[in-house]
Amino acid sequence: MSWRLWLKSVKHPPFFNHFQTPQMSSSAYPKRKHLTIIEKNGRTYFKVQFNKTKLGLKVNKTFSKYADAIELIQACENKYGAMTVKGLVDTESEQYKTLEQFMLDPPIDTYLSKYIDRYIDPKYAHLDERKPEDKYKLRQKQSTLGMLDICLNTEINHEVDSQFKISKAHWNETIRTTIGMLKPSELKNSDINSLVIALKAKGMKPISISTYLSRASVFWKKLHTFNSDLGNLPNPWLMYDKDILTNGNKIFRKKPFRFNHDILKRLAKAIKGKNIRPVVHLMYKLGLRRQEAVLLTKEQIFEKPTPHIYIQSKNTERIVYLNERQYRFIKSLIRKDSDRLFDYEVLGFDGSYTKAMESANLNIKQHDYRKDYISRMIEQVGISNSILLSQLLGHSTPRAIERMRNTFPERKAQFSDQSEVLKQIGHRNSRITAEHYYSMK
């Protein structure tokens, strides 16, 4: 029997085709063994039922054409034709089983596609890639998608049940696959451990791997929104062996970061008269992140009730209060012909900054300014006020601050209300905080 016939046979009867020529009645067709003629809704169908136990052949197919049904019967009645039909039936059966299994329990990458459609794409749909501030946020989207892609499409060793009766302490049978190809119920802690090993082999740092796994964990927590049966599924992305990631060492070795006076003098000299100077000033004086400073707009700057800048970064928002000196400085940067304070794009600023640091033989990373600011803030406010600090610094949780409890000594709070807090951290016009430690002018 030809493949052409088989492909025809697997088509569903055209129930919805109302424009074909009228069918002949069942009496017009010669009767054949293994053939049942069915008339339904004015249409005629031909059902072939064949069962050859010795060959293991079992056929139950319905056709819309009499000739196709007869051709299949003739093939089944022939010894060699029956063997061919059996092979095709077995293949089709396996395909149906695979399709059925896919529909009942799809792999993880199917859920990822739904997650992207429901949660990631809508979040960034309103952005315009032609706007510098939106272009940066769209890069964040691509970064998130890239992390998820690496987590789900990196080859790992997945443990499977062995046919041999032997302790797993001696030997584990594994197959090479990706996490995306596994079903949610198949994902184990050992798979995440294998992923960590694979990413470390590629030269990825433990802190980066930890970030990747965190992104995947956020996705995993949304599985139940697509399939309620997965509501009680454990989260292996949080249950992997941390010692495999860090070799027994702590990832976060937080310590106070402070510039010494000599470095600050050299920095002030290096950026004097350069366009990058005001951006560096904002990063150091106010603890702004690079993109927050570079993309700052005049709509974010407010004078009343207290001078401040409104910052929205990723999923968090915060208010950065300004003393009089800082407010005057920022007002001097406002341009009438532009909403933004600077013409730089983020990557353009990177290039100019790197060139200036290299020419001055300085090894100061852009995030070092914020680290120094955080250290100064903690010293002033006290590490025990981690919730307040996290809000002022724009952290989504106090966790990053609380990791430094063993680094900064506990101190008794020296304030009782918001005005005292602002005065303590340098956001009021007081003699000690007016200079904000060092002047970059």
Lowest mean pLDDT among 112-126, 243-257, 302-316, 418-432: 418-432
Decide: helix, strand or coil at residue 254: coil
pLDDT over threshold 60, residue 19: no
Model pLDDT, residue 171: 55
Distance of CA 163 to the CA centre of its chain: 37
Lowest mean pLDDT among 126-130, 180-184, 289-293, 353-357: 126-130
CATH pick for 261-434 out of 1.10.10.350, 1.10.10.60, 1.10.443.10, 1.10.260.40: 1.10.443.10
From CA 74, how far away is CA 76, in angstroms rounded? Answer: 5
From CA 104, how far away is CA 95, in angstroms rounded? Answer: 14
Q: Is-cis flag, bond preceding 305, omega within 30?
A: yes
Model pLDDT, residue 4: 47
Structure tokens at 155: 């080859």
User: What does the domain layout of the chain look like in residue ranges?
Assistant: 3-103, 108-163+171-246, 261-434
What average pLDDT does this structure show over 410-437?
A: 45
Model pLDDT, residue 314: 60
Side chain identity at residue 399, one-letter code: R
Lowest mean pLDDT among 99-103, 291-295, 319-323, 365-369: 99-103
Decide: helix, strand or coil at residue 297: strand
Q: How would residue 174 be classed by pLDDT, with cut points 50, 70 and 90?
A: confident
Fold of the 108-163+171-246 domain: DNA polymerase; domain 1 (1.10.150)
Between 373 and 171, residue with greater pLDDT: 373
Most confident of 1-15, 321-335, 379-393, 425-439: 321-335
Residue 373: how many CB atoms within 10 A of its CB?
A: 20
